Structure 1
Amino acid sequence: MTTVSVTLPETKYDVLIERGLLKSVGELVAKQWSARKIALVSDSNVAPLYQEQVGTSLESAGFEVHRYVFPAGEASKSLTTLADLAQQMAVDAFNRDDSVIALGGGVTGDLAGLLAASYMRGLAFIQIPTSLLAQVDSSVGGKTAVDLDNIKNIIGAFYEPDLVIVDPDTLATMKQRDLVEGYGEIVKTAALEGGEFWQLIETINSPADLITHSPELSARSIHYKASVVIADETESGTRQLLNFGHTIGHAVEALADGGLRHGEAVSIGTVAIMRVFENAGLAEKGITAKLRERLAAVGLPVTDDLLTSPKVLDKVKNDKKNRHGHLNLVYLTAIGQPKIKSIPSSEIASFLHLTVAD
């Protein structure tokens, strides 16, 4: 078993990574928590696959499990769904000694995490991510949130889990598009770190390769993200590096109105932002093509007609990470060499106009 430890000023937790780990959930959670009620939260896609298995394992370990299911999809990451789940917990008499487990992908982790953070001002929380995107990204770092209309992650909290359990075998039940989506975040992370991680990326040429190398891809991604989070838990400094590809990516994702997955949008955003910096002479020649090739190798989109829309610039200028009239754009001078450039909001349009050219 691979263990990545995340040590923060006020808490510490482990990320456990191993094939078949789902069979041992009850035993692992019992080492972390005493007997209590657990709200086991999944969406309607994941619940039929794993909720009964995980719930039974927890019950065998002495926990009282309440299985909650919400409709799958980004639309459920809302205050309405959050209130519905909280209402179910109240009816089932959950109190501050009880806990929440998120079993599912990124939407489940974000939603159940905010549920844990806000119900009775905070319950203990464990993440069991079942998608590649959640395993390498959203399950680590303590970000929990819901959307408001089409504004992503606008209402949330930093709330760390007590434990993260990653079983790469859950990827075998994913549709190819859902699997590949997570690779957008992996390439982003490998490009930030460089070295052996990027060398591993250069060997991935198909979705089948993702399955084969998923334990190592997850471990390396989580280790890098954990190191950044440890250094900057609340995103006031170096944690901003993790936004690489996200500024334009989030804008395109919002405008696509459900037509693009998060990892697909990150892929498009990564290529677009690097094209800007390479054309501006601030990045190594050929780096954009290198990133585009690695993303496209597994079928991820690397451009979109939405990039030509003036609405993209409006979304970017109003990004929630816009601080004091400036937006910090993350880019690479070379693989493994990230930098942040602060651009005044009034200059964003002129600086990013090159994103429409491929």
Structure 2
Amino acid sequence: MKELIVELPGKDYPIYIEKGLFGRLGKEISKIYKGKKVAVVTDENIAAEYGRDVEADLLSSGFLVKLVIIKPGEKSKSLEVYAEVCDKLLEFGITKGDLIVAFGGGVTGDLAGFVASTLLRGITYVQVPTSLLAQVDSSVGGKVAIDHPRGKNLIGSFYHPRAVFIDPEILKTLDSRFLNDGMAEVIKYACIRSPELFEKLSEMEVEKDPLNGLEDIIYTCCKIKSGIVQRDEKDAGERMVLNFGHTLGHAIEKYYGFEKYSHGEAVAIGMYAITLKTEEEGITKAGTAASIKRLLTKYSLPFKIEGMDKPGLLEAIALDKKSDGDDLNIVVLSEIGDGYLKKIKKEEILRYL
């Protein structure tokens, strides 16, 4: 088993990564939680595939279990669904001393984590991410949130899990589109902090076995993120480099109603668009955008879209969380492996499209 410790003032927590870990989830949870009630928040797709197994496993470990099932997709990160989940948990009789398990992809993790951070002013929770995107990114770092009609993740908090349990084997049931969706976040990590990972991704033979080597890749991404989070827990500086491609990506998701492009696909477009422009401006080393494009293409990720209404996109960006008055912090590369923050005027973002 691979293990990382996220070290934060007054709160450290482990990240466990191992193939087959899901099969003994109840046993692992019982090592860190001595209470009785466990509420598992998951979506319909994950519940259909794994719901009975996870419930039986937790029951066999002596827990009282409640499955709270939401609809899959970004639209479940809403105030309405948040209220529904809270109501079901209160009906279960959950207390501050009980445990919530966020069992699913990024949407489930964000929603369940936000519920945990707010219900009864805070309930302990663990992350059990089931998508590659969640395993390498959203389950680590304590950012939990729901969306607002004006933008993505606008209502949220920093609330770290008690532990993160990652089983790469669970990715076998993922549709190839959503495996590639997670690879966009992996590519992000390579772009901002690891030329070695970028080279490894370029050399991998994904056609033969797309899951080969993923355990090491997940560990590398979690190590990069945990290091950054330890230095900047509350997103005041360095942590914002984790948003490479996300300013445009989130705006693209919202512009298309969270239906046309997945999160990873939108971020992929954002990474390439920003880098293409900064390379033209001499900020980024020549050839970097082409290298990113080749890697995105290898993993069947888009890199460009045509015909967007730029004023409409600017409106979607207006409430970006990285805004600072009339300014916007965007993440740019000097070269592969070296990402940093650049402050621009909000209206300037249109030059990067």
What is the TM-score of this pair, normalised by structure 1?
0.95
Task: Decide whether aligned partners of structure 1 residues 61 and 185 sit closer, same or farther in structure 2, where only a CA change above 3 A counts.
Answer: same
Q: Displacement of 1:344 after TM fit?
A: 2.6
Structure 2 CA distance for aligned equivalents of residues 25 and 194 of structure 1: 31
Structure 2 CA distance for aligned equivalents of residues 84 and 131 of structure 1: 24
Structure 1 CA distance for aligned equivalents of residues 88 and 101 of structure 2: 15
Q: Displacement of 1:309 after TM fit?
A: 3.0
Q: Displacement of 1:308 after TM fit?
A: 5.8
Does 1:4 find its partner at 2:7? Answer: no
Aligned partner of 1:130 in structure 2 is 130
Structure 2 CA distance for aligned equivalents of residues 10 and 260 of structure 1: 39
Matched ranges for 1:171-320 at <5 A: 171-206=171-206, 209-257=209-257, 258-307=259-308, 309-320=310-321
Structure 1 CA distance for aligned equivalents of residues 43 and 307 of structure 2: 30
Structure 2 CA distance for aligned equivalents of residues 270 and 150 of structure 1: 23
Q: Displacement of 1:307 after TM fit?
A: 4.8
Aligned partner of 2:95 in structure 1 is 95
Secondary structure, counterpart of 1:153 in structure 2: strand
Q: Is the 8 A contact 1:252 1:307 kept in 2?
A: no
Q: Is the 8 A contact 2:151 2:316 kept in 1?
A: no
| Aligned AA (1:202) | S
Q: Is the 8 A contact 1:205 1:298 kept in 2?
A: no
| Aligned AA (1:211) | L
Structure 1 CA distance for aligned equivalents of residues 109 and 307 of structure 2: 28
Q: Is the 8 A contact 1:193 1:224 kept in 2?
A: yes
Q: Number of paired residues?
A: 352
Task: Decide whether aligned partners of structure 1 residues 275 and 142 sit closer, same or farther in structure 2, where only a CA change above 3 A counts.
Answer: same
Q: Is the 8 A contact 2:141 2:229 kept in 1?
A: yes
Q: CA offsets per residue over residues 258-279 of structure 1, 9 Å max, x none? A: 1100000000000001011001
Q: Displacement of 1:195 after TM fit?
A: 3.5
Task: Decide whether aligned partners of structure 1 residues 267 and 205 sit closer, same or farther in structure 2, where only a CA change above 3 A counts.
Answer: farther
Structure 1 CA distance for aligned equivalents of residues 93 and 72 of structure 2: 25
Q: Displacement of 1:204 after TM fit?
A: 3.1
Structure 2 CA distance for aligned equivalents of residues 219 and 201 of structure 1: 14
Structure 2 CA distance for aligned equivalents of residues 150 and 44 of structure 1: 26
Aligned partner of 1:145 in structure 2 is 145
Structure 1 CA distance for aligned equivalents of residues 230 and 208 of structure 2: 32
Task: Decide whether aligned partners of structure 1 residues 26 and 317 sit closer, same or farther in structure 2, where only a CA change above 3 A counts.
Answer: same
Q: CA offsets per residue over residues 306-344 of structure 1, 9 Å max, x none? A: 556332233234322201321111111111111211113
Q: Is the 8 A contact 1:278 1:285 kept in 2?
A: yes
Aligned partner of 2:351 in structure 1 is 353
Task: Decide whether aligned partners of structure 1 residues 256 and 83 sit closer, same or farther in structure 2, where only a CA change above 3 A counts.
Answer: same
Task: Decide whether aligned partners of structure 1 residues 322 and 306 sit closer, same or farther in structure 2, where only a CA change above 3 A counts.
Answer: farther
Q: Is the 8 A contact 1:46 1:104 kept in 2?
A: yes
Matched ranges for 1:11-26 at <5 A: 11-26=11-26
Q: CA offsets per residue over residues 15-58 of structure 1, 9 Å max, x none? A: 11111100110111011000321111110010111122122212
Aligned partner of 1:81 in structure 2 is 81
Structure 1 CA distance for aligned equivalents of residues 303 and 266 of structure 2: 9
Does 1:334 find its partner at 2:332? Answer: no
Does 1:66 find its partner at 2:66? Answer: yes
Q: Which moved more, 1:256-265 or 1:58-67?
A: 58-67
Structure 1 CA distance for aligned equivalents of residues 308 and 132 of structure 2: 26
Aligned identity (percent) is 37
Secondary structure, counterpart of 1:16 in structure 2: strand
Aligned partner of 2:49 in structure 1 is 49
Unaligned runs of 5+ residues in structure 1 are none
Q: Displacement of 1:251 after TM fit?
A: 1.0
